[in-house]
Chains A and B, each alone.
Chain A
Amino acid sequence: MDRPKITVICPLFDEEENVPSLVTAVREALEGLEGGARWELILVDDGSGDRTVERCLEAATDPRVRLLRLARNYGQSTATQACFDAARGEVIVTLDGDLQNDPRDIPRLVDKLEEGYDLVVGFRETRRDAFLTRTLPSRVANFVIRCLTGVPIRDNGCSLKAYRRPVVERLGLYSDMHRFIPALVVGSTGAQIAQIPVRHHARRFGTSKYGLSRVWKVLADLMTVTMIRWFGERPLTMFAYGALAALIASLGFLGSELVDLRQGAGTAHGVVFAGAVFLLFGLSIYLLMVGLIAQVALHKWAMVLQRHDHGGGRP
């Protein structure tokens, strides 16, 4: 069978009620593609506890619909990566399984991609979510992500995105990194990104798998992505900045200590400042050493990659 032009991928976790409508909606949206382009839909069951698999199997009677069943619930990032690994199309479109995205937007995403972009990201212009618990936190998060990563994505939470295959092949999603794909893509490949408005519908069946409890997780992941984005190729620089700040603070306390001594303060008086000087100086040295270790790790990995590129074999 020829490779399809478009692969639509959809991770599913406890979405039994949504599967039939989802498959129908994708099929209707892609039947009328320009030039009758071939497509496939990959449904990935991420260890659902309900009848999602049965619903998918019913839908998979259409040869263009494929089912991948993960051995347990790995989370959305790993499920998305499993889809990427299984995808055969030249264009790969990601879609949520809860029908909040509208598959009718897929052709527009693909058209935009064909203007020469590597990644087209949808943004939900009119959201149908609760303002206080979902829309507001999402806006704050998007603002912070934009500021820290320097990648001006309006809606990182919108799953509807279209990728060129080479972009996907460079990704290795883990943890909860699916939220930061544009920042990771720009950081590692310098890909060209476009954004277009997409429709958004309120969830009809099932419940959201995310809540406000994810704030700390998102913050920690954001810190990681920011580090990778700005210092992924030069970790020593990042730690050296921290070391420099600690050194300056240490010297500040040292200066105060010397001024106090000059003004005739007793030795006991200076113990606190002396302690501060040593602690901050120690921190400075520590950060420098951590930076050196990070640089060594990066260098060793670069050597592995180089051997892989010139000697064959997967690292």
Chain B
Amino acid sequence: MIDSLLPWFEAIENSGLGQTVRVSVWMFPVIESLHLLGLCALGGAVLTVDLRLLGAGLTRQPIATVATGVHPWLKAGVAMMILTGVPLFMSEAVKCYNNPSFWLKMEILPVALLYAFTVRRRVASNPARETSAVTRLTAVVSLLLWFTVAVAGRWIGFSS
């Protein structure tokens, strides 16, 4: 079944955007650098809330205050990661197709996103919420998901 996806990946790589990034000397490195800056923003947004859920960081503020305050920047970080990640992928789609780290990242990423915008958001945006076993577990799951995405992402470059 997976085999049938290869022509799609080839088509993506041969697309206009894929080839533009691929043949350019500087485009991939520049977009990659922006992807890293997105990682900083997204990482900061995720960590600030997860630390608070764990009972660390901005602990004098209610969980909901931290979560709502950070939320726009979480969205901005995700947007930046996707906007830069897609052209990077398109420029080397076939390499990604053969890369186990890429597939791991793409399996966990939707879970991490879904989790961040549903379960975690619900737990963290409740104004009455205080640090508890529930919030700690919520944060640990979040950190594990994003950590896996980030490590797998970094490893795409190593395992080629």
A, B from the same assembly: no
Chain A residues in contact with chain B, CB under 8 A? Answer: none
Chain B residues in contact with chain A, CB under 8 A? Answer: none
